[in-house]
């Protein structure tokens, strides 16, 4: 924060506060944060959620957004309420897709993107990211009779991924650099992309392993599929927020780091990754990765996947 060019006596400042009222009601809380000022003035904070990104952000049987990332965002909302002294702060929920999530954060429509989004250096040109909340690995899923072991087995074949994801960016990049001549098909969401494999239109689907596991857990023919051992990329997930607002980012980061320091993240992880979850009671039975344990011990907002190996 820059220093004032002159000193204001205490009495005039108190008088000024009485005159201006709400405009400086929370000088320490919102004065230096565009996001907090907007939230305070509107009395509303807007969370972007995903419809089918189990177990991070998805709809329950009453069409309410729930999930691991939603729970973390609820903790952030509580912190915003306390910071702004607004116990009745309204929470507005807005569905976003892989294609709309970042633009809606960048233009200020969404204050917190509470979905399943990888922090990358390229995306950081549009939005800011919290400290990492999860670490996934992008892999391939395919029918067991497809005899696919890795990316080289996809040469000249149709391969699916989801629009505006890091996985589809990876496929395009490796297709060009290694001259694999793959036909890359883009689904609008993960469910549609996975369906392309089931329909035989694609021989494999590239996506983050935790999302592939959730798709399989809900698939009646799950025994017909296999997930590759080879990891294509590492994906550090984070909550997206507007750029150039260090005060708001610090608030969000402090909430997440507090979850880590107090150990509350352990219970939150068990709830969503190692227990039956609504609405169908599936259990992903996914142990916490060593990469995520390192993040919990040493929180970071780094986008370089090499730092998570």
Quickly state the pLDDT bin for 8 (edges 50, 70, 90).
very low
CA nearest to 76, candidates 269, 255, 296: 255
The predicted model gives 29-57 an average pLDDT of: 94
Contact 239, 222 (CB under 8 A): no
Lowest mean pLDDT among 13-17, 64-68, 136-140, 191-195: 13-17
Q: Which residue has the higher pLDDT, 6 or 139?
A: 139
User: Does residue 6 surpass a pLDDT of 80?
Assistant: no
> From residue 12, how far is each of 17, 23, 24, 71, 147 by CA, in Å?
9, 16, 14, 44, 78
Contacts of residue 240, defined as CB under 8 A and 6 or more positions apart, other chains included, come to: 48, 101, 102, 105, 110, 112, 113, 117, 123, 127, 128, 129, 130
The predicted model gives 259-264 an average pLDDT of: 98
User: Does residue 155 surpass a pLDDT of 90?
Assistant: yes
Mean pLDDT of the chain: 91
pLDDT recorded at residue 28: 55
The predicted model gives 107-123 an average pLDDT of: 97
Q: How large is the C-alpha radius of gyration of the chain?
A: 22
Task: Please give the domain boundaries of the chain with CATH numbers for all domains.
Answer: 27-133+238-308 (3.40.190.10), 137-233 (3.40.190.10)
pLDDT recorded at residue 29: 63
pLDDT recorded at residue 147: 86
Tens digit of each residue's pLDDT (9 = 90 or more) over 216-238: 998 999 999 999 999 999 999 99
């Amino acid at each position: 924060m820059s220093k004032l060019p002159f000193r204001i006596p205490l009495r005039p400042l108190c008088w000024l506060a009485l005159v201006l009222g709400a405009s400086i009601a929370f000088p320490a809380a919102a004065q230096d944060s565009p996001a907090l000022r907007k939230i305070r003035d509107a009395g509303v904070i807007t969370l972007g959620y995903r419809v089918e990104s189990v177990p991070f952000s998805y709809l329950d049987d009453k069409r309410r957004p729930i999930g691991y990332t939603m729970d973390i965002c609820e903790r952030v909302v509580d912190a915003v309420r306390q910071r702004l002294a607004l116990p009745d702060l309204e929470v507005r929920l807005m569905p976003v897709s892989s294609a709309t999530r970042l633009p809606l954060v960048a233009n200020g429509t969404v204050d917190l993107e509470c979905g399943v989004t990888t922090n990358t250096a390229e995306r950081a040109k549009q939005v800011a990211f919290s400290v990492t909340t999860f670490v996934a690995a992008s892999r391939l899923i395919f029918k067991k009779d497809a005899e696919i072991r890795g990316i080289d087995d996809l040469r000249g074949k149709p391969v699916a991924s989801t629009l505006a994801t890091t996985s589809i960016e990876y496929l395009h990049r490796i297709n060009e650099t290694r001259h694999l001549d793959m036909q890359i098909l883009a689904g609008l969401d993960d469910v549609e992309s996975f369906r392309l494999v089931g329909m035989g239109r694609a021989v494999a689907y590239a996506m983050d392993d935790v999302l592939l596991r959730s798709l399989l857990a809900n698939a009646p023919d799950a025994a017909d599929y296999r997930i590759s051992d080879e990891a294509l990329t590492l994906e550090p997930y984070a909550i997206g927020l507007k750029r150039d607002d260090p005060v708001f980012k610090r608030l969000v980061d402090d909430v997440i780091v507090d979850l880590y320091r107090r150990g509350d993240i352990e219970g939150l992880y068990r709830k969503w990754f190692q227990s039956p979850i609504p609405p169908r009671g599936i259990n992903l039975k996914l142990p916490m990765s060593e990469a995520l344990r390192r993040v919990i011990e040493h929180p970071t907002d780094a986008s370089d996947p090499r730092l998570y190996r």
